[in-house]
Structures are given as C-alpha cells and as structure tokens.
Amino acid sequence: MYRTHNCGELRLADVGKTVTLAGWVQRVRDFGQMSFIDLRDRYGITQLVVDKSDVGREFVVQVTGKVVERSSKNPNIPTGEVEIAVGELKVLSAAETPPFTIEEVSDGGDELRMKYRYLDLRRAPLQRNMMLRHRMAQSVRRYLDEAGFLEIETPYMIGSTPEGARDFVVPSRMNPGEFYALPQSPQTFKQLLMVAGYDKYFQIVRCFRDEDLRADRQPEFTQIDCEMSFVEQEDVLATFEGMARFMFRETMGVEFGEEPFVRMSYADAMARYGNDKPDLRFGMEICEITNIVKNRDFAVFNEAEYVGAVVATGCADWTRKQIDEMTEYVKRPQIGAKGLVWVRVDDEVKSSVDKFYQPDDLQRWIAEVGAQKGDLVFVVSGSRLQSLRVLSELRLELGERLGLRDKSRFAPLWVVDFPLLEWDDDTQRFYAMHHPFTSPKPEDIALLDSDPGSVRANAYDFVVNGVEVGGGSIRIFDSGLQARMFDLLGFTPEQAQAQFGFLMNAFKFGAPPHGGIAFGFDRFCSLFGGSDSIRDYIAFPKNNSGRDVMIDAPSLIDKSQLDELCLISTAK
C-alpha cells in the first residue's frame, strides 16, 4: 500500500497514529541534523520531520511515521496542527530542480510555465481551478440529467461552412483534395437530433474556431450545448435560469433569492449601458442628452448624431491629471474617442466647455443626467454607435477605478430581443446576428421584406458581470422560412442547398418547434473563479499565437505524409 492517508487529511485527532503518506516535496528546511519537509499532493500539504536527508524539491517520496502535535502550529492550513515524525523515508522518484518554484505563488514567467504546464498544474491555484471546473461540469450533468436531458455526442469531423468564424480543416486521405472541418459548434447536429425526436439534448463539447486570440478566447474551447423541442423562449430561459442557479448554489454557495433574473432588451442594453452585455454590478447608466446641447455655438455637439453622458459618482474632486488619464484611456485606438467633455458639479459648476455654454445650460445637463453635488459628468459625442461604445468603455473603466466591480458579487441577466440581422457596410450584405437558424419574432415576420434590419429575433444571451456566458435562440423549423432566411443572407438557392440542404431537407420530414442555448464553459469557470483569463481553467491551453509550447504544436509534417494527403509541401 502506497499510502494510508493523503496529505490534506491528518488532524489533531490523529495524533499517535502510525501513517504512511506519499507525495511531492514542496520545500525542505534544514535545521542541523533535522529537516522539515512540506509534503504535497492534490489534497493538501503535511509537514514532515525527518533526520537530515538529501531529498530536494519535487522528489516523490513515501514516508511512514507517527502523527505528533506540532509545537508551533500553522493556522493557515487544515493540517497545520500536526506533523509526521518520520521513521522511514523512501524516494520513489528523484527530481531535477524544477524551472520555477511550485508553490502558491510561482516565480516562473508565463511562457516558461506554459512549456512545463504539467509542473504549473501541480500548483495549488491551478489545482483549485481544475477542481472547480470538475465540480461545475458535474453540477451541469446532475441538473440536466434530473431535468430529463440526454447527453449525446456529435461528430468532430464535419463539413466546412462559409458562415460564422473561420474553420479549422482536416485533410481527408481517402478523399484526396477534400477536407473535413472541425465544428465551431454542434448547432446543425443538435437541431437534427430534435428532428430525430430526442427532445432534450445536451453535451459538454469541444468547439473549434480559427480566430485571433485574446485572453478570453482559445482556438479550442468547451461549450455546454443544449437543445429542446416543443419549447418557446420562456421555456428555455426558465430551464437554464434554473441550471445557472443550481450551478451557483452547488459550486459557489451563491443564492439569488426568489426574484427572476433581470430581463433586458437588446435596445435597452445598448441605450443604457452602450453594449449588449451590461455589467449590472453597478449603476452609472448612460444618459442621452443630444436634444438639449445643440442650442449654442459648439460645432462638435451641433454636428453630432448623438451626445451622451455618464456620471462619475463622487468624483468632483478629481484632479486635472485624473481627468486627463480618463481622456487618454478613451482615446486609445481600441476605443477611438476624439475627446471627453467634462462637467464638475461642486459649489461652483465648472466644465471644459465653459466658453460655449452658460451656467444655466450646464444646470440643465446636470438635471437631465441626474448628477448631484460632488459628481463629475463625462460627455461623449459623435455617431450614435461609436459614442455608445466609448461611453460603455468609460463606464466600465470608471467602475473599475471606483472599485465597483467586485469579483465576488454576481449580477446575472438575460438580454433578449436581439436584432435578427446585422448590416455589413464592407460586404454590403446582411449577416445573421446570432446564426442563420435563429427564428424571427412572429410579429416581426412581415417586416422581413420591407425593413429586414428592424426584424427582432427570438434570441437571448445570458450575461453575468459584463461577460456573455451563454447565448441561444428559438430556431426556424420550417424549410420555407429557412430558405427565405438564406435568401436574405445573400445565398442563392443552389448555395443554400449545397451548404445546408441536409437541414432544410430534414425539416421536410416533420420537424418539431425547437430552441436551445450554449454556454461558454471555460468562461463560466473563469467567472466563478474570479479570473479574467479562461486559460487558467483549461488544463492544456494554447498561447496567444495558438501554439501549444509544451508539445510544440502545430508542427511541420513529413513530406510522405503531405504526399499521402495530396498536399503540397511548404517546408524548406
């Protein structure tokens, strides 16, 4: 037997027992003829007292000895009241000095820790993340199983489609010159499962998108993918609000009370928060003042399509330097503001546009935006969409600086009534805002011909703390309406048939009304864990250039392999 207990288990009550432990040496402290060793496994750390030995960091050892009460206790760890007086120590596996310290906080840089990911994964913070991920996955399975969902797998080798993001492709040896694509999501398959009568489906499934990477994106990522038949939007929202509550309760101990989650229309979210995934942990809503600022000789506002403001609560005492910092923040190319107008609401009202506006004018603005004495008002102008974008970023940054975005608080909501289509100026065509299978709201179908841009969809997003955690829709289940949708998206009937004929044909054989949702599981985990990076919740993630630096992938392949696949070598 390798061990009688794990390294997180022993307590005062065990004093006197003879035990055997096995694990990794985290640290050795030598005191003359005696050494203290911190022995680690995924359950915790237990202190060993040994005669001087020559084990080093990360050796795997097995020890047998007596549990004794420590004279100087460590209140920070559960095993901190005891130690093992080791009688016998056996080295099971020696270790080279690790390239970085494997402790709560490591001295290793990002690249190095990625290269030795298996060592980084030994660290307690990452082990906690993996355990959280596991518990979340289990709670999803428990809830959905209880609700009658079936877990069904769909293929990873499918066909490429031009809609959506770029596909990763896989050459087919048996079909020279042809390619599979890895799924961006199991969307069409889960809809076919509904046609096949499976009624309630889910899968915790890997998806692949060949996009540029950011902190919250990976080329392969995991979705909790779900679909249901004979449902309307309300049924889907109720089921998955239930799942979210269950996950919060089971894995985080967070309860939200009786009130249903906030529902907000896309139009409202845009007008009040400047984006479709509002962070509701704090107020400071955007307020439009276009109509009351065009009465003076200030061309910037007079020519603007939109003028809007956010109130920085209690910031009237900000220095010019602090205000300039905010201005610089929104002028960064990623945000692209031209500048910021400000109004300081104090005993005396001062603004950056005092040359153009009278105190009475400013008082009207202040009343309109609901600012109080002690506040600082920021005003942004320009095109409506661009201004809202700037105001959104400004609001979030102010929230950050004012400490209003507490990671241990959660503010979930549903954003509903998304537009069905989005116009793209570059390509001069509509794109599906969610995806081409999303159904228009029945009451808006008449607008499909006259004003397609204003048609709303039966689509919804689940948002927590400004993060889009999930999204889905009620689907089109009529082959005629689906064909019309492809037409609106600029497909010829032949193209639609070639790309999605299998789905439209399936709809001809008795398709039930259906709808579903998919959650970004990695993001859900990082949100629960209080981190901005999904990488910390994926055991073996890729770096920002899409590389796995541990196994050094992607990599060149042999000429013979290329030949077999009928691919031309680009290798030197």
Q: Which residue(s) pair with 40 in the sheet?
A: 24, 45
Segment contacting ligand ASP by CB under 6 A, of 194-202, 307-315, 516-524, 561-569: 516-524
Q: Does 243 bind ligand ASP (CB under 6 A)?
A: no
Q: Choose between 276 and 375: whose C-beta lies nearer to ligand ASP.
A: 276
Q: Shortest distance, CB of residue 207 to ligand ASP, whole angstroms?
A: 7
Q: Shortest distance, CB of residue 535 to ligand ASP, whole angstroms?
A: 20
- Give how far Cα 163 sits from Cα of 75, 434, 435, 465, 506, Å: 57, 11, 8, 29, 20
Q: Choose between 202 and 528: whose C-beta lies nearer to ligand ASP.
A: 202
Question: Are the C-beta atoms of residues 471 and 432 closer than 8 Å to each other?
Answer: no
Amino acid, res. 544: N
Segment contacting ligand ASP by CB under 6 A, of 209-217, 262-270, 466-474, 534-542: 466-474
Q: Does 187 bind ligand ASP (CB under 6 A)?
A: yes
Segment contacting ligand ASP by CB under 6 A, of 134-142, 165-173, 471-479, 528-536: 471-479
Q: Which of 229, 473, 482, 499 binds ligand ASP (CB under 6 A)?
A: 473
Q: Read out DSSP for 481-548?
A: HHHHHHHHTT--HHHHHHHHHHHHHHGGGTPPPEEEEEEEHHHHHHHHHT-S-GGGGSSS---TTS-B
Q: Shortest distance, CB of residue 181 to ligand ASP, whole angstroms?
A: 15
Q: Does 219 bind ligand ASP (CB under 6 A)?
A: no
Q: Does 65 bind ligand ASP (CB under 6 A)?
A: no
Q: Does 516 bind ligand ASP (CB under 6 A)?
A: yes
Q: Shortest distance, CB of residue 469 to ligand ASP, whole angstroms?
A: 11
Detail the DSSP E strand segments found in 420-497. 421-424, 429-432, 459-464, 467-474
Q: Shortest distance, CB of residue 475 to ligand ASP, whole angstroms?
A: 8
Q: Choose between 98 and 159: whose C-beta lies nearer to ligand ASP.
A: 159
Q: Does 471 bind ligand ASP (CB under 6 A)?
A: yes
Question: Are the C-beta atoms of residues 86 and 48 closer than 8 Å to each other?
Answer: yes
Distinct helix (H) and strand (E) counts, the chain: 15, 22
Counting beta carbons within 10 angstroms of the beta carbon of residue 468, is it exposed (0 to 12), middle (13 to 18) or buried (19 or more)? Answer: middle
Distance CA 355, CA 347 (A): 19
* Strand ranges across the sheet with 467-474: 150-151, 200-208, 220-229, 514-520, 467-474, 459-464, 412-416, 262-265
Q: Which residue(s) pair with 422 in the sheet?
A: 431
The phi, psi pair for 213, rounded to 5°, reads -95, 150
**CA-based diameter of the chain, in Å?**
89
Cβ neighbours around 569 below 10 Å, total: 12
Q: Shortest distance, CB of residue 518 to ligand ASP, whole angstroms?
A: 4
Q: Which residue(s) pair with 151 in the sheet?
A: 202
Q: Does 188 bind ligand ASP (CB under 6 A)?
A: no
Q: Shortest distance, CB of residue 183 to ligand ASP, whole angstroms?
A: 9
Q: Does 440 bind ligand ASP (CB under 6 A)?
A: no
Q: Shortest distance, CB of residue 77 to ligand ASP, whole angstroms?
A: 42
Q: Choose between 180 and 521: whose C-beta lies nearer to ligand ASP.
A: 521
Non-local (6+) Cβ contacts of 238 within 8 A are none
Question: Are the C-beta atoms of residues 525 and 488 closer than 8 Å to each other?
Answer: no
Q: Does 183 bind ligand ASP (CB under 6 A)?
A: no
Integer-rounded Cα Rg, in Å, for the chain is: 29
Q: Choose between 156 and 318: whose C-beta lies nearer to ligand ASP.
A: 156
Q: Does 239 bind ligand ASP (CB under 6 A)?
A: no
The phi, psi pair for 535, rounded to 5°, reads -55, -35
Instruction: Give the count of residues interacting with ligand ASP (CB under 6 A).
Output: 8
Q: Does 185 bind ligand ASP (CB under 6 A)?
A: yes
Q: Choose between 181 and 518: whose C-beta lies nearer to ligand ASP.
A: 518
Question: Are the C-beta atoms of residues 186 and 205 closer than 8 Å to each other?
Answer: yes
Q: Does 517 bind ligand ASP (CB under 6 A)?
A: yes
Q: Choose between 349 and 517: whose C-beta lies nearer to ligand ASP.
A: 517
Distance CA 117, CA 124 (A): 13
Segment contacting ligand ASP by CB under 6 A, of 152-160, 166-174, 277-285, 467-475: 467-475
To 5 degrees, how large is the angle CA 191–CA 194–CA 197?
160
Segment contacting ligand ASP by CB under 6 A, of 128-136, 352-360, 384-392, 511-519: 511-519
Distance CA 449, CA 355 (A): 49
Q: Choose between 35 and 473: whose C-beta lies nearer to ligand ASP.
A: 473
Tokens of 277: 């995934």
**Run of H or E including 350:** strand 349-351
Tokens of 199: 């009624």
Q: Does 526 bind ligand ASP (CB under 6 A)?
A: no
Amino acid, res. 116: Y
Cβ neighbours around 228 below 10 Å, total: 27
Segment contacting ligand ASP by CB under 6 A, of 41-49, 196-204, 448-456, 510-518: 510-518
Q: Does 520 bind ligand ASP (CB under 6 A)?
A: no
| Binding characters for ligand ASP, 127-166, by CB under 6 A (x = yes) | ----------------------------------------
Q: Shortest distance, CB of residue 187 to ligand ASP, whole angstroms?
A: 4
Q: Shortest distance, CB of residue 185 to ligand ASP, whole angstroms?
A: 3
> By the criterion CB under 6 A, which residues form the site for ligand ASP?
185, 187, 471-473, 516-518
